[in-house]
Chain A
């Protein structure tokens, strides 16, 4: 039973548990869909009045917006275990039980709960993407589609990586540090708009420190087929989604370091 199949087993178990209360799940999905959809309605209102954001039109911004939100929603769906890691596993000592099983702790946490309610944001993201694709006049060849999917997958990897880092903090401090939410939610807020409207230092932080730009801005600019306003070369636009999985690999190293700390200090 390899890791992927085990994850599928975990997912099935989790879905079954949540579907014991189907009405509640649906209501929460609807609620989340409304809340996130309302945010985009705000963007739509602004474009209705101002027509352009810098050099960007609504359809283009919608593509950035939809991609980032979809990636984040999918990342949130599988990362509940890391989200509640501090209070649910470290503080209670339940992490010991994960260590007693012959599997990687990260995998067990990914399988902790498949958060169905996040589908609300996913639906919103996909809907916005659909609107964008509908409004944009692009020919969708294989290259474009692959790049778009790569951006989403890279985004999922990046956001999961951020949540892993946030969870790793729990090994050192009992307090749940909401500052980490700044990076995830704040990151989504920032990256859902084209990054060239921000100051250069911000752009650099989001390219080299937390590579959000690499899984949102650069690949989508590539998908849109336009020249990047600051002269970034095309090959970079195509390769940038790789930063997501690389970031995740880095986060998992930090995680392993955290686990070693836990086992040497007794949690």
Chain B
């Protein structure tokens, strides 16, 4: 029995259309024209308890719409969404009591208050028993290293500190599902790594289901075993990252820095293609199943003396960008 079961979810928005020009504005006073935007065009997937998935998609893909429906703060136009046996929109209070949500760009903490005051107010709002609250808080403070900043007003915190506190705030009531929307945006490298570590540990040890919506591919690669790609209100792909990586097993790139300028007509082996070429740098694309790496390097080394070389595989980012363009999600 999956914890989250979504089937055929659609969401259509009606947006008022402003007519251009003065005449249009006058008409607009009497007649309102509407345009329909389909944010979700039939989304189906399910999640087991304790899974950690990454959700990516270009802007306007329907990611935030889907997350809002899962959170219970938006009603779908049609389709079914059941989480922990409840329909989120119908039983809002029961549902949100069991989830935690972190929006990267907005804090849920009270701006002028010390962090601990916000935490205590949340404890009261979520009706967390005092002993349980203390235990959870101690744990979160240790894991997120926010002990020193508990007494500071939120407005004085750096972005990294605030984000850690927001995550703690979302977990104070021990939710079973954690939604993260762009949690690492704007963070420095050290903070990002620490945060990823934390999320991974949380998911592994506490079995908290995590849904991570992000543009940051490194987040996805570091954390998620399963990735859902959304574009144009549909799921383009839903599966393990490993599978995506496997698909590129036939794609490799060899970048060679030669010691001297490359000769005019460089003879490359069959099955390889020149991707780009500078005075001294050559980038070749090849399929290692057809042209083994050592064969290719040997061939190129025989042509001219090589100073440096590197082998690349397509990044997840590239794969996903290809996905978007091939499905018309973005301009190539």
Contact = CB atoms under 8 A, between A and B. Distances in A.
Does A pair with B?
Answer: yes
Interface of A: 1, 5-6, 9-10, 13, 16-17, 20, 93-94, 96-97, 99-104, 108, 263-266
Contact of B96 (A10, A17, A94, A100): A100
B125 A102 contact: yes
Given A1-B125, A9-B121, 19 more contacts: A9-B124, A13-B110, A13-B113, A17-B113, A20-B112, A94-B106, A96-B73, A99-B96, A100-B73, A102-B92, A102-B94, A102-B96, A102-B126, A103-B125, A263-B73, A263-B74, A263-B89, A264-B74, A266-B13
Contacts of A17: 110, 112-113
Contacts of B94: 102
A16 to B, nearest CB: 8
Q: Which of A16, A93, A103, A104 has the most CB of B within 10 A?
A: A103
Contact of B106 (A9, A97, A102, A266): A97
Interface of B: 11, 13-14, 65, 68, 71-75, 89, 92-94, 96-97, 99, 101, 106, 108, 110, 112-113, 117, 121, 124-127
A1 B124 contact: yes
Nearest to A18: B112
B13 A265 contact: yes
B97 A102 contact: yes
B125 A6 contact: yes
B317 to A, nearest CB: 29
Contacts of A101: 96, 125-126
Q: Which of A5, A10, A16, A263 has the most CB of B within 10 A?
A: A263
A214 B125 CA distance: 35
11 contacts: A1-B124, A16-B113, A97-B108, A99-B92, A100-B99, A100-B101, A102-B93, A102-B127, A104-B93, A108-B125, A263-B74
Nearest to B127: A1
A99 B117 contact: no
Nearest to B14: A265
A5 B11 CA distance: 38
B127 to A, nearest CB: 5
A99 B125 contact: no
A206 B110 CA distance: 40
Interface of B is mostly: mixed
B121 A13 contact: yes
Contacts of B11: 266
Given A96-B73, A103-B93, A10 B121 contact: yes
A120 to B, nearest CB: 22
Q: Which 8 pairs from chain A and chain B are nearest by CB?
A: A102-B97, A99-B73, A264-B75, A102-B93, A9-B124, A1-B124, A17-B112, A1-B127
Nearest to A95: B73
Contacts of A6: 124-125
A100 B68 CA distance: 10
Given A99-B73, A100-B96, A266 B127 contact: no
A25 to B, nearest CB: 14
Given A99-B96, A101-B126, A266 B68 contact: yes
Contacts of A102: 92-94, 96-97, 125-127
Given A13-B110, A17-B112, A99 B72 contact: yes
Contacts of B93: 102-104
Contacts of A103: 93, 125
Contacts of B127: 1, 102
A9 B89 CA distance: 28
Contacts of B92: 99, 102
